[in-house]
Each structure stands twice: as structure tokens, then as C-alpha cells.
Copies of this chain bind each other. A is one copy, B any other.
Amino acid sequence: MGLMSFPATIVQADRDSEIVAQAGSLRHCFQVVEGCVRVFWLLENGRRQITDFLFAGDLLGLDAIPDNALGAEAVTPVTLRRIPQAVVETRASTDLRFARELRAYGAAQIRAAHARCVLLGRKTASERVAAFLLEMAQRLGGYGKSGMYLPMSRTDIADYLGLTTETVCRTLTDLRQRGAIRIERARITILDLPALERTGAEYVH
């Protein structure tokens, strides 16, 4: 993403601290340099839906999301590049190549969100967890013998998949007992990829 060339302020965020997009009247967007961020919505009575996890390179706040309801927090200590919305807007209004990149990015976001709707609306707990592991392996480079380190808690995973912590645990245990994965705390190794893919049941048409 051509966001690299933007003048940006480097900011840090502690574990579990909020990432504020609105500083005074100035809106910002961010690019994750290092660490993991969760983007979420809250409902009354404490229900939470995580709509995305962000890792190095990922973007936040490009879409002019209205302030209410949406939140972003550091899952781990995070380093971010912060860029004023207005700067991005200006660039988008002059640089056609960049504008196109932005549109492509938006389209990818929409596609991902729709895939998540399918997952949340129509998949079972096992399918959700399997799909999650596959997504994370994809994004974190977690195929391979050494597995991947998942920075987020089981609760985070549950709130991402529309489940409870307990169900996530049980499902992981089940996958382990079937020999599909190895679990060492936050490190998960995929042992039987085809089995996971069979369970993660992606779209058909």
C-alpha cells in the first residue's frame, strides 16, 4: 500500500490501551508497524464483537468511520504510523494511482467483511475456529513446523468468532485430540492442514 510514502508520526500504544483516531477535531488514520490491534464494536451489557485483528502493515481508519460505537485497542504493545485523514484525502484527490489503490483496499475489506458474515451467520463452532486458524496462519505465516504465536487471548478469539471463551477452548482441544493441531499456550502449530481445511469449509458456488 502506497501509504508508506506519507509523512507520519510514529506513536506507541500500550497493551490494552485505546487507539484514538480523533484527536481534537483532527481525525487520523494509522498503519500498524508492529504488534497487534483489535477493532471492535460494543453492545450494551458488555457484548463485544471484534470485527478485525490488525498486524504489521494493516491499516486502520481509512474509511471515514463515524466515531460512535467503533473502538480500536492494542492487543500487544503496538507501534503505529499516524497520518491525518486530511492528508490522505488530499492525496486521494490528486494522485489517481493512489486513489485506485484505496478503492482496491476498500473492496478487499468489503469482501473480507462478507466472508466474516458467512462465518458468523452460518458456520458451526468447529468451522469458525478452523477458519480462524487458517486465516491467522495465512496472515502470520503460521504454516510450517514452528507454528504461530497468537497474540490475542481466547476471549478475543471468541469475540471475533461470535462464540464464548469456553467454546473456543473446547473446540481447540477437540482439534488437538484429533491430531489436527498442537497447542502450547499461545503458540499453535498446524499438524494436519487438510483436516483443518476440510473443517474450515470455505465458500462454494
Which of A116-124, A132-140, A178-186 contacts the other chain? A116-124
Q: Is A70 an interface residue (CB 8 A)?
A: yes
Best-surrounded residue of A104, A121, A204 (most CB of chain B within 10 A): A121
Contact of A63 with B111 in the complex, beta carbons under 8 Å:
yes
Contact partner of A121 (CB less than 8 A), chosen from B70, B71, B120, is: B120
Q: How large is the interface on A (under 10, 10 to 19, 20 to 34, 35 or more residues)?
A: 35 or more
Contact of B123 with A120 in the complex, beta carbons under 8 Å:
no
Q: Is A145 an interface residue (CB 8 A)?
A: no
Specify which chain B residues have a CB less than 8 angstroms from the CB of A64 in the assembled complex.
Answer: 104, 107
**How far is A198 from B51 in the complex, measured between Cα atoms in Å?**
24
Task: Give, as a whole number of angstroms, the nearest-CB distance from A200 to chain B.
Answer: 11
Specify how many copies of this chain sit in the oligomer: 2
Contact of B121 with A161 in the complex, beta carbons under 8 Å:
yes
Q: Is A86 an interface residue (CB 8 A)?
A: no
Which of A76-84, A91-99, A167-175 contacts the other chain? A91-99
Q: Is A100 an interface residue (CB 8 A)?
A: yes
Contact of B107 with A107 in the complex, beta carbons under 8 Å:
no
In the complex with contacts A69-B204, A96-B93, A203-B69, A117-B120 CB distance below 8 A = yes
Contact of B65 with A111 in the complex, beta carbons under 8 Å:
yes
Contacts from A to B (Cβ < 8 Å): 41-44, 47-49, 51, 63-66, 68-71, 92-94, 96, 99-100, 102-104, 106-107, 109-111, 113-118, 120-123, 159, 161-162, 201-205
5 further A-B pairs in the complex, CB-CB below 8 A; given A41-B118, A42-B204, A49-B118: A51-B117, A92-B103, A94-B96, A96-B99, A121-B159
